[in-house]
């Protein structure tokens, strides 16, 4: 964020009005502040933005899904406010180049890190709240997240499928849940395939670049199959 033009360009993409000082703070990572004496960083705004985000999303899904249980609403909220979803939003807004980072984070491509992108999105939400109040901040959040609520992949992607398949298997008395994982390829390009076994039966297969990702994908497939066949 080097010029007024760049700042204005970002604000136009965000569709909000944040004063220059607050915007500067929202875009300042602690690694930059630690290297520049007297500079603040965005963690307090991030803390505030997290609460505003949670309230706005909770209110929206409460009214959008009037027949859903508390448990299912919590799962939807977790998917929408996840670091992955927030980082994807930040990338869609080309936020990364505007974040002020320390030299170490720059060297390790901090502008592309999901955690930094997600935290900065929350800081920006906090900045809108500070500058304009709750309703504009809520409107900003909803403009970002309503498309996510209408995307079935996003809504399910954040769910803890490994826990859910465990709970489903226990509720139906299907037996223990186990994973069989096999890795292939060189260390720098490793791929994994996981099979989830429920009561000894292969119920789902998943692939990924990590064991955890492959297991989670397999669990999601198994859950979908078991949920569709209650007698299984």
- Residues marked active site are found at 50, 122
Helix (H, G, I), strand (E, B) or coil at 41: coil
User: In which element (H, E) is residue 216 found?
Assistant: helix 211-228
Backbone angles phi, psi at 107, to 5 degrees: -65, -30
46 belongs to an annotated ligand binding site: yes
122 belongs to an annotated ligand binding site: yes
Q: What ranges in the chain are assigned the alpha helix state H?
A: 4-14, 20-26, 30-35, 43-64, 70-80, 83-92, 103-107, 114-132, 134-149, 152-157, 161-172, 211-228
Tokens of 120: 């900065």
* CA 122 and chain centroid, separation: 11
Instruction: Enumerate the known binding-site residues.
Output: 46, 119, 122
Q: Which residue ranges make up the annotated binding site for Mg(2+)? A: 46, 119, 122
């Amino acid at each position: 964020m080097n010029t007024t033009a760049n700042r204005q360009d970002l604000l136009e993409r965000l569709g909000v009005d944040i004063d220059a000082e607050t915007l500067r703070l929202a875009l300042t990572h602690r690694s930059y502040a630690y290297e520049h004496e007297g500079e603040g960083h965005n963690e307090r705004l991030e803390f505030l933005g997290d609460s505003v985000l949670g309230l706005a999303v909770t209110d929206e899904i409460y009214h959008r899904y009037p027949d859903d249980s508390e448990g299912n609403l919590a799962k939807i909220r977790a998917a929408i406010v996840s670091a992955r979803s927030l980082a994807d939003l930040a990338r869609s807004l080309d936020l990364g180049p505007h974040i002020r980072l320390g030299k170490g984070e720059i060297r390790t491509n901090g502008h592309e890190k999901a955690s930094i992108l997600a935290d900065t999105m929350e800081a920006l939400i906090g900045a809108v709240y500070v500058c304009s109040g709750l309703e504009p901040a809520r409107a900003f959040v909803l403009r970002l997240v309503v498309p996510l609520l209408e995307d079935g992949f996003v809504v399910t992607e954040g769910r803890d499928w490994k826990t859910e398949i465990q709970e489903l298997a226990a509720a139906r008395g299907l037996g223990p849940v186990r994973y069989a994982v096999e890795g292939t390829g060189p260390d720098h390009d490793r791929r994994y395939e996981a099979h989830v076994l429920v009561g000894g039966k292969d119920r789902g297969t998943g692939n990924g670049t990590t064991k955890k990702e492959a297991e989670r994908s397999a669990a999601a497939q198994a859950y979908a199959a078991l949920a569709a066949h209650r007698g299984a």
